[in-house]
């Protein structure tokens, strides 16, 4: 099957006929909605890159599952080289879009579910792995976008799922039938959800005996009956409705959705965990590790654009050669490349799972993500420092067009010789988008909380860091028994 182009992808999403609650209205025709369309265009880039001459080789991979070439965004990693190529591909998409291009969560979910279903079958005699292979072959053949859905609302954080006042605060099985299951609950923060063809739902945490109804993994098409989408707001999102350069990123944007499952039926062939509590923690850990690796690619790609915009505004302001500016740009490069180094390192030290696909090094993937919770913030601070106060006080694009105000704005926005005032506004708005506007949702807030908040990475570091082994090293050196 030929790999889709971006245009074909958009047509295929349009055919799904999805609806969402957006700004107080129930909206259909989402592919043309001004808040949704930029995010759809960002996903389309992941398709077009598999056709563009300069990126085609990186964005295609041979899938032994279907015996054909697939878009790497649907690939089950077959080597550490594949893991590295995934990160390089994500950096490339970040470079082109300067936003979240939303397609990584499905790839990360699939690689985790692939290995966990295999191990679950070994432990419990279930047949989930064969089901999942069948399901993922369908995804690869049709070159689909799949949203990996993990984060439950979680209610009172001090209580287990069964102790919540409302048991739906963790997505759960409410009925088991001969031909499938019925589920109810919700998933927060769903990146790219209404731009997706499919959803893979996973448990949000390690479940314990007695919590079988919450240990559930399955896949459904996004247009399944009983699923409702409530669109997330982003800072300055209504600028996308204005159609002016105040939007900052003129073409692309990201998207996060609250997704509600109101008694949704899932047929058996799409159920991949059904009460096996001992497998749930492993699934969470693996998905999180793949997604923590992902940020060593996508955030770096966006970081490249932020560094470029910051260096450009310094040039426009006539301060590019000042030593402290040059040093701050170098600092941004150092921070950004450190994140990339982490993404590559956890890939290089990856290993094969029992199921045959490749998994990242867990310790280094968590180091990667913990750095991501800090470095983009520091880069945003440096960009804000260099860009100057205009970042917060710039007049609107509409005033730029005003016959009275416009000429004053152009006159007083003059900077280094030969710099067009409107170009200067564009660069400032792009930086604003990334450090304080709609782009900051993915570049900053998601860097903090996406794929787990910083404490989740610290817990993994404590677990994986082998402190006892390090104590043994010190004792050996000092000859202490």
Q: Which of 38, 248, 301, 450 binds Fe ion (CB under 5 A)?
A: 450
Closest CA to 112 of 240, 279, 332, 311: 279
With tokens 């990242």, the residue in question is 360
Question: How many residues make contact with Fe ion (CB under 5 A)?
Answer: 1
Cα-Cα-Cα-Cα torsion 206, 211, 213, 214, nearest 10 degrees, comes to -30
Q: How many helices (H) and strands (E) does the chain have?
A: 19, 14
Read off the DSSP letter of residue 411.
Answer: H
Strand partners, 228: 260
Active site residue 446: yes
Active site residue 298: yes
Q: Which of 46, 71, 151, 294 binds ligand SF4 (CB under 6 A)?
A: 294
- Using the rule CB under 6 A, is 298 a contact of ligand SF4? yes
Read off the DSSP letter of residue 442.
Answer: I
Selected catalytic residue, list 256, 285, 359, 432: 256
CB closer to ligand SF4 out of 90 and 126: 90
What DSSP letter does each residue of 134-152 carry, written as one string? HHHHHHHHHT--EEEE---
Of ligand SF4, Fe ion, none, which one sits near residue 289, judging by CB under 5 to 8 A according to partner kind?
Answer: none
412 — alpha (psi -120 to 50), left (phi > 0) or beta?
Answer: alpha
Selected catalytic residue, list 93, 99, 104, 368: 104
CB closer to Fe ion out of 370 and 397: 370
Of Fe ion, ligand SF4, none, which one sits near residue 102, judging by CB under 5 to 8 A according to partner kind?
Answer: ligand SF4
- Which stretch in 18-26, 67-75, 100-108, 391-399 sits in contact with ligand SF4 by CB under 6 A? 100-108
CB closer to ligand SF4 out of 435 and 442: 442
Integer angstrom CA distances of residue 357 from 115, 118, 132, 279, 455:
7, 11, 13, 18, 28
Positions 171 through 200 that interact with ligand SF4 (CB under 6 A): 191
Q: Tokens for 335? A: 């921070």
Active site residue 93: no
Question: How many residues make contact with ligand SF4 (CB under 6 A)?
Answer: 12
Selected catalytic residue, list 49, 93, 99, 100: 100
- CB count within 10 Å of CB 54 equals 8
**Least distance from ligand SF4 to the Cβ atom of residue 117, Å:** 22
Active site residue 138: no
Active site residue 324: no
Closest CA to 372 of 294, 256, 435: 294
CB 446 within 8 Å of CB 100: yes
Strand partners, 25: 22
Closest CA to 435 of 368, 388, 370: 388
**Least distance from Fe ion to the Cβ atom of residue 191, Å:** 5
Active site residue 256: yes
- Which stretch in 53-61, 259-267, 449-457, 462-470 sits in contact with Fe ion by CB under 5 A? 449-457
Q: Which of 3, 61, 100, 271 binds ligand SF4 (CB under 6 A)?
A: 100
- Using the rule CB under 6 A, is 446 a contact of ligand SF4? yes
CB closer to Fe ion out of 151 and 317: 151
- Using the rule CB under 6 A, is 234 a contact of ligand SF4? no
With tokens 């079988």, the residue in question is 212
- Using the rule CB under 6 A, is 105 a contact of ligand SF4? yes
334 — alpha (psi -120 to 50), left (phi > 0) or beta?
Answer: alpha
Closest CA to 161 of 202, 200, 210, 201: 210
| Integer Cα distance of 139 and 4 in angstroms | 12
Selected catalytic residue, list 49, 93, 298, 346: 298
CB closer to Fe ion out of 350 and 450: 450
Strand partners, 198: 146, 221
Strand partners, 142: none
- Using the rule CB under 6 A, is 104 a contact of ligand SF4? yes
**Least distance from ligand SF4 to the Cβ atom of residue 374, Å:** 16
- Which stretch in 243-251, 290-298, 349-357, 363-371 sits in contact with ligand SF4 by CB under 6 A? 290-298
Active site residue 100: yes
What is the distance of C-alpha 432 from the center of its chain?
Answer: 21
CB closer to Fe ion out of 38 and 450: 450
Active site residue 334: no
Q: Which of 63, 102, 140, 255 binds ligand SF4 (CB under 6 A)?
A: 102
Half-sphere exposure of 23 (CA within 13 A, CB side): 10
- CB count within 10 Å of CB 29 equals 11
CB closer to Fe ion out of 18 and 451: 451
CB 64 within 8 Å of CB 133: no
**Least distance from Fe ion to the Cβ atom of residue 440, Å:** 14
| Integer Cα distance of 339 and 52 in angstroms | 27
Ranked by CB distance to Fe ion, the top (closest) residue is: 450
- Using the rule CB under 6 A, is 450 a contact of ligand SF4? yes
Binding site for Fe ion (CB under 5 A): 450
Active site residues: 100, 104, 191, 256, 291, 295, 298, 446
Binding site for ligand SF4 (CB under 6 A): 100-102, 104-105, 191, 294-295, 298, 442, 446, 450
């Amino acid at each position: 099957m030929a790999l889709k182009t971006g245009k074909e992808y958009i047509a295929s999403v349009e055919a799904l006929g999805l609806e969402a609650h957006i700004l107080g209205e129930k909206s259909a025709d989402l592919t043309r909605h001004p808040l949704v369309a930029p995010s759809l265009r960002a996903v389309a880039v992941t398709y077009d890159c598999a056709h563009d001459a300069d990126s085609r080789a990186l964005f295609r991979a041979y899938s032994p599952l279907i015996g054909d070439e697939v878009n790497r965004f649907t690939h089950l990693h077959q080597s550490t080289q594949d893991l590295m190529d995934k990160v390089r591909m994500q950096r490339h998409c970040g470079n082109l879009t300067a936003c979240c291009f939303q397609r990584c969560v499905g790839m990360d979910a699939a690689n985790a579910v692939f290995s966990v279903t295999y191990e679950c079958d070994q432990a419990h005699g279930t047949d989930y792995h064969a089901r999942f292979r069948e399901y993922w072959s369908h995804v690869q053949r049709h070159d689909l976008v799949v949203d990996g859905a993990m984060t439950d609302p979680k209610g009172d954080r001090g209580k287990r799922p069964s102790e919540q006042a409302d048991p739906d605060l963790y997505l759960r099985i409410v009925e088991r039938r001969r031909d499938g299951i019925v589920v109810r609950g919700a998933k927060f923060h769903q990146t790219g959800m209404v731009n997706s063809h499919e959803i893979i739902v996973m448990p949000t945490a390690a479940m314990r005996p007695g919590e079988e109804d919450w240990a559930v993994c399955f896949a459904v098409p996004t247009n399944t009956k009983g699923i409702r989408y409530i669109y997330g707001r982003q800072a300055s999102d209504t600028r996308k409705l204005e159609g002016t350069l105040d939007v900052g990123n003129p073409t692309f944007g990201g998207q996060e959705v609250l997704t509600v499952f109101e008694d949704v039926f899932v047929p058996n062939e799409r159920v991949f965990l059904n009460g096996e509590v001992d497998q749930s923690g492993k699934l969470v850990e693996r998905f999180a590790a793949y997604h923590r690796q992902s940020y060593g690619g996508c955030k770096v790609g966006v970081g490249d654009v932020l560094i470029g915009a910051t260096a450009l505004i310094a040039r426009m302001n006539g301060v590019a050669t000042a030593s402290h500016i040059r040093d701050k740009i170098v600092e941004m490069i150092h921070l950004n490349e450190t994140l990339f180094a982490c993404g590559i390192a956890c890939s290089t030290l990856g290993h094969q799972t029992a199921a045959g696909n490749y998994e990242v090094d867990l310790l280094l993937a968590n180091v990667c993500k913990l750095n991501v919770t800090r470095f983009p913030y520091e880069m945003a601070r440096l960009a804000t420092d260099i860009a100057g106060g205009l970042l917060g006080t710039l007049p609107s694009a509409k005033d730029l067009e005003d016959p009275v105000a416009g000429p004053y704005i152009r006159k007083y926005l003059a900077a280094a010789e030969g710099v067009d005032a409107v170009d200067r506004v564009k660069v400032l708005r792009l930086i604003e988008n990334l450090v304080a506007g709609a782009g900051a949702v993915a570049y900053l807030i998601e860097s903090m909380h996406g794929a787990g908040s910083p404490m989740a990475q610290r817990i993994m570091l404590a677990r994986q860091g082998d402190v006892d082994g390090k104590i043994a090293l010190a004792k050996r050196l000092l000859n202490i028994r």
